[in-house]
Amino acid sequence: MLTKKQHELIRFIHQRLEDTGVSPSFEEMKEALDLKSKSGVHRLISALEERGFIRRLPNRARALEVLKQPEDALPASARSAANDAVSRATAAPTKVAAPANDVIEIPLHGRIAAGMPIEALEGQSSLPVPAALLGPGEHYALEVSGDSMIEAGIFDGDFALIRRTDVARDGEIVVALVDDEEATLKFLHKDGAMIRLDPANASYEPQVYQSGRVKVQGKLAGLLRRYH
């Protein structure tokens, strides 16, 4: 069952697509639902996408498609609130669609080694990220330190965008937490009771641990790079 805000959002997106053929921006969705930040919009969209109500069209940052609507399951009180949200948003004059430049803030948790493990998740600030780079789920960012993943295109100073999860498949690039205190960005390989964390640089050796010593903290979803 969807929450009241999820109902409001899917109705607003559907109405805007019906009226203009263009998905609303994150700012428009934030104002229509009276949310405090765009990150709240991102969480609602991710939840609706995971449940199969909407989908993001590839290669287009602001393109959303409504696959189904939960009208039949919507209680009268929530339906009234959703109608109010749509009415508030559509009462204002229609604006020309803005460029596809929606940005959300995700937590930035310190630096992570792409070489030997270092202490991870030091403090917390935030990093503005184009919404188009993030799929469904909860994300955070880590600044890469080291060069052991350069053959995978991950360089010192890059920002690794991590989808939070505690499971991963063989061969995926993950944030691996070793002994609950050190983390590293590596390819994950499972070999019975052992975990091998492989670099992408011939100058570095794989790191091998008992499986109980390693916890997956997330997997790589994207990269941001600043050019100076």
Q: Would you list the domain boundaries of the chain?
A: 4-91, 103-224
Q: How many CB atoms lie within 10 A of CB 89?
A: 19
pLDDT at residue 174, as a whole number: 94
Q: Which two tokens stand for residue 195?
A: 């975990």
Distance CA 199, CA 208 (A): 11
Architecture of domain 4-91: Orthogonal Bundle (1.10)
CA distances to 69, 172, 183, 186, 202 from 56, in Å: 16, 23, 32, 29, 38
pLDDT digits (tens, 9 = 90+) for 138-184: 888 888 988 989 999 999 999 999 998 999 999 999 999 898 878 89
pLDDT digits (tens, 9 = 90+) for 179-196: 887 889 999 999 889 999
Catalytic residue flag (residue 148): yes
> Is residue 26 within a helix (H) or strand (E), and if so which, with residue range?
helix 26-32
pLDDT at residue 115, as a whole number: 60
pLDDT digits (tens, 9 = 90+) for 22-45: 788 888 888 888 888 877 888 888
Give the count of alpha carbons within 13 A of 176, CB side only: 32
pLDDT over 70 at 100, yes or no:
no
Catalytic pick among 5, 38, 186, 219: 186
Catalytic pick among 23, 25, 145, 148: 148
CATH number of 103-224: 2.10.109.10
Q: Which two tokens stand for residue 220?
A: 């790589």
| Contact yes or no for 26/41 (Cβ under 8 A) | yes
Mean of per-residue pLDDT scores for the chain: 79
Catalytic residue flag (residue 186): yes
Distance CA 54, CA 67 (A): 5
- Tokens 């965008």 correspond to 161
pLDDT-based confidence at residue 68 (cuts at 50, 70, 90): confident
Q: How many CB atoms lie within 10 A of CB 203?
A: 9
Cα-trace Rg, the chain: 21
